[in-house]
Chains A and B, each alone.
Chain A
Amino acid sequence: MSGGRVKMFPDHKHHDPHAHAVHKPGRRLMHHVPLHFVHKRVAGGGGRSVNAALNLVAFIDFLIVTVIFLLMSFSASGEITVDKNITLPKADNVQDVIEAPMVAVNGNQVLVDGTPAGSTRAIEDLGRMQKVDELFDLLKRKRELWRSFHPNKPFPGVCVLQVDENVSSLVVKSVFQTAAYAGYPNVSFMVRKRGKAAAN
């Protein structure tokens, strides 16, 4: 402190134990341990690391389980379109859907693969079973087309009916009989598969 000067960073070579020096702020505890390897262990410093290690094991497990579940429920057959005006009934004892002409029957009309082929109302108004001529013609044309493409194969005669759950049996029987007349005696009804849990 001689000469009124304050030395900010005192020279350790000329250490004066009585001098009231101002030192650079920082960690002090254990910093004067002379053994280097002990000093390194106990002095600390350096602050907390900004990098954090994430445990990926649980994350990968979750991803693998999701992949397995999705692979098991994967269907390569593609989505089957159902008329938006049709609510299909539910059933337990069912089979997989096959590729065949789709006859949709809703409250107003009959469609074959999306093409109008008759009126449901007309059948109900008549009050008795009848052959639906437009449906018959369309299905017959489809059968002939199939035969021209597969001349050496026997015709399977399968069609699938998508019928709304509230349509009357009269309409169903009329469409069923028309399909049989047109050469499709093996008729399948499309349904929604009911889970066993829901059934109980």
Chain B
Amino acid sequence: MGGVDVGPSNGKRQMNMEINMIPFIDLLMVTIMFLLITAVWVNFSRMNANAQIPGPPDPTKEIDPQTPEKVLNVHVTDSEFKLVWKQGATVVSETTAERPKQGGDLLYDDLAKKIADEWKQQSSHQDKSDKKQDQAILHVDNRLPFKEVIAVLDAIYDCKREMLVENEVKPFPVFNMSFSVR
């Protein structure tokens, strides 16, 4: 068993102690068993999207006309991704990124880099104190499998910025995504 040896006792009272380790080991074993039984081995997570449905207008407030914000439109075609910044109906900028043909796990790293570059050039919400996210609208073909949609969404959410929330600076995705519906 575990002992505490403090050297010879010089004939006085015994100073060395013996600790019974069995209850300690039992406790550790029981803890391990409990944690193993209650462990969740598969980690599920989520990705946000928003339908951008405005609430009913407040009749007590006067309607204040606002200039529309820039919105990133991501078009997924067979061979490329088209990134179009629009302000209302006006096209502000347009660029493309190659869509690689992949099997298995889909990762669009080049698209993520391109989106990050575009955001740095075009976004007006880059300050830490600005809590508003930019809007990204995803235009996909009806036949596109869901895993491709998630891979594009993952690339969009890869671009993050620091945001001041409750006196703490945290990394947040710069975009909030919605689907284009026709």
Interface residues of A (CB under 8 A from B): 56, 59-60, 63-64, 66-67, 70-71, 73-75, 78-80, 82, 88-98, 127-129, 160, 163-170, 172-173, 176-177, 179-180, 185-194, 198-199
Contact = CB atoms under 8 A, between A and B. Distances in A.
Interface size bracket, B side: 35 or more
A89 B147 contact: yes
Contact of B35 (A74, A97, A129, A189): A74
Given A70-B39, A74-B35, A167-B145, A89 B151 contact: yes
26 contacts: A59-B25, A63-B32, A70-B32, A75-B40, A89-B146, A89-B151, A90-B105, A93-B158, A93-B160, A95-B48, A97-B44, A127-B142, A128-B142, A129-B181, A160-B46, A163-B146, A165-B145, A168-B143, A169-B141, A170-B142, A170-B143, A172-B146, A185-B52, A188-B48, A189-B46, A192-B42
A94 B49 CA distance: 12
Nearest to A93: B157
Interface of B: 1-2, 21, 24-25, 28-29, 31-32, 35-36, 38-40, 42-53, 105-107, 140-147, 149-151, 153-154, 157-158, 160, 173, 179, 181-182
B52 to A, nearest CB: 7
A168 B51 contact: no
Contacts of B179: 172-173, 176-177
Given A80-B44, A93-B160, A179-B51, 13 more contacts: A73-B39, A75-B40, A91-B150, A91-B153, A95-B48, A97-B44, A97-B45, A127-B142, A173-B179, A173-B181, A177-B181, A189-B49, A191-B45
